[in-house]
Amino acid sequence: MPPKDAPYFATALAPSLAALMVLRVVAAIVAGTLSPAAFAIAGQRAEPGYAGRAIGTVAAGLTVSLAVGVPIGTWLSTRWGWHAAFVAVGMFTAVALAAVVVTVPRFGPVTKAGIGDRLRALRSPAILACAGTTTIGACAGLMPYTYIAPISDAVTGRPGLLTVFIATIGIAGAIGAAAGGSIADGWGPDRA
């Protein structure tokens, strides 16, 4: 089983809430290492002048996964229990990994950076500003998910609308990511 799939399948077998939380942290670490690689590959493999669109497409894919995945996960969990949602994520991840292995050309030798090298990058004011902005934006974008269900229920009185709200947020995010990539290509990353 590929390492990216392991946390999802293991989560489906979690015997307790504590084990579930630990495995979700492991899954987040795995995703946190693979997402930057996907952005880097998209930018490097894009035709000249299209790196922004390629990176925007990857970002759009992440937001579409939210819009599509949450309703499907909710349905699977309601129908067959929460374990089913994690089995499905593991299966989708395995299919996606197979597609990457088959379609993404291998890179030549790369210079491996140690943790010190990576942390040294944070000495750059520009990188620190981008990292800070990204962190604040991600927190702002994800915090509402903590409260979206009770707010949705209280405002509408209809629990079924939660899926519509989440799908709308995901679609809007995908449109924004795609537009942002095109704008970055057209105006340049500094102006965008």
**pLDDT tens digits for range 43-94:** 888 888 898 889 888 888 888 887 788 888 888 888 898 889 888 988 888 8
Asked if residue 186 lies in contact with residue 51, where contact means CB atoms within 8 angstroms, the answer is: no
How many domains are contained in the chain?
1
Environment class of 190 (CB within 10 Å of its CB; exposed 0-12, middle 13-18, buried 19+): exposed
| pTM passes above 0.75 | no
Q: Would you say residue 42 has pLDDT above 80?
A: yes
Model pLDDT, residue 173: 81
In a domain, 66, yes or no: yes
What are the CA-CA distances from residue 145 to residues 3, 36, 43, 169 (Å)?
A: 27, 23, 30, 11
In a domain, 116, yes or no: no
In a domain, 152, yes or no: no
Q: Would you say residue 192 has pLDDT above 70?
A: no
Residue 1 pLDDT level (bands cut at 50, 70, 90): very low
In a domain, 112, yes or no: no
Domain containing 27 equals 6-107+160-187
In a domain, 148, yes or no: no
In a domain, 126, yes or no: no
Which helix (H) or strand (E) element contains residue 91?
Answer: helix 82-103
Reported as a single tens digit per residue, the pLDDT across 98-144 is 888 898 877 766 677 778 887 888 889 998 898 888 889 888 877 77
Environment class of 87 (CB within 10 Å of its CB; exposed 0-12, middle 13-18, buried 19+): middle
Residue 85 tokens read as 């949602």
In a domain, 177, yes or no: yes
Q: What angle do CA 186, 189, 192 make, to 5 degrees?
A: 70
In a domain, 151, yes or no: no
Give the residue from 39, 9, 42 showing the smallest Cα distance to 27. Answer: 9
Q: Would you say residue 4 has pLDDT above 70?
A: no
Q: Residue 32 corresponds to which amino acid?
A: G
Give the residue from 171, 20, 168, 25 showing the smallest Cα distance to 85. Answer: 20
Asked if residue 134 lies in contact with residue 141, where contact means CB atoms within 8 angstroms, the answer is: no
Model pLDDT, residue 2: 52
